[in-house]
Amino acid sequence: MNRRLFTLGTATLALMLGSCGPTPQLKVKEAVLTLSPVDSNPSGFHFNVYGGPEDVYLLRVSTPSAIRTEMHDVGVDPKTGAVTMSPMNRVLIPAGKKVEFKRGGKHVMMWGVNLIPRRLGEIETEFLFSNNARIRVKARVQEMDGTDPDEKKAIDG
Ligand SMILES: [Cu+2]
């Protein structure tokens, strides 16, 4: 083996490792549930997932405070140009990368959000990943205009 090449290779590797910084940790942040103004319609749940040291899939987002949750992706029908939503069974969270669930993109929908999170202004949720990690997140609950839920406003006066 060419010695000089070997030395260069080692130096490059050390540089690359050094630039990676601390090991990334799988996290969920900036989680907000926006209540639908019509109770029978689903509410939109948005958040960011930060990838950990390995690629994983987000398999499910659940909460004891809603009847049903689904992960959705948004697309455009090539024939009609209409915006469509389709359920997703899993979403890849690449190592060290941020995956956004936001308005107009991937999101979670919740049906039948009960009174508990509406009164507290926050909701308990759990994120299940393919490496069996379960991350519990307390998310803010808001009305469409970004203010506290009406039920909380009624209590707070
Ligand atoms: Cu949806």
Q: Tell me yes or no: is domain 23-156 CATH 2.60.120.10.
A: no
Residue 85 Cα, ligand 1 centroid: separation in angstroms? 6
98-101 and 91-93 strand pairing: unpaired
Rounded to whole angstroms, the Cα distance separating 130 from 95 reads: 13
pLDDT band for position 9 (50/70/90)?
Answer: low
Rounded to whole angstroms, the Cα distance separating 39 from 113 reads: 8
Does the structure show a pLDDT above 80 at 17? no
Amino acid of residue 103: R
Q: Where are the chain's structural domains?
A: 23-156
Residue 12 Cα, ligand 1 centroid: separation in angstroms? 45
Does the structure show a pLDDT above 70 at 2? no
Q: What is the pTM of this model?
A: 0.84
Residue 89 Cα, ligand 1 centroid: separation in angstroms? 13
Residue 3 Cα, ligand 1 centroid: separation in angstroms? 58
Rounded to whole angstroms, the Cα distance separating 16 from 24 reads: 15
Rounded to whole angstroms, the Cα distance separating 150 from 1 reads: 72
Model pLDDT for residues 78-131, shown as the tens digit of each residue: 999 999 999 999 999 999 999 999 999 999 999 999 999 999 999 999 999 999
Amino acid of residue 17: L
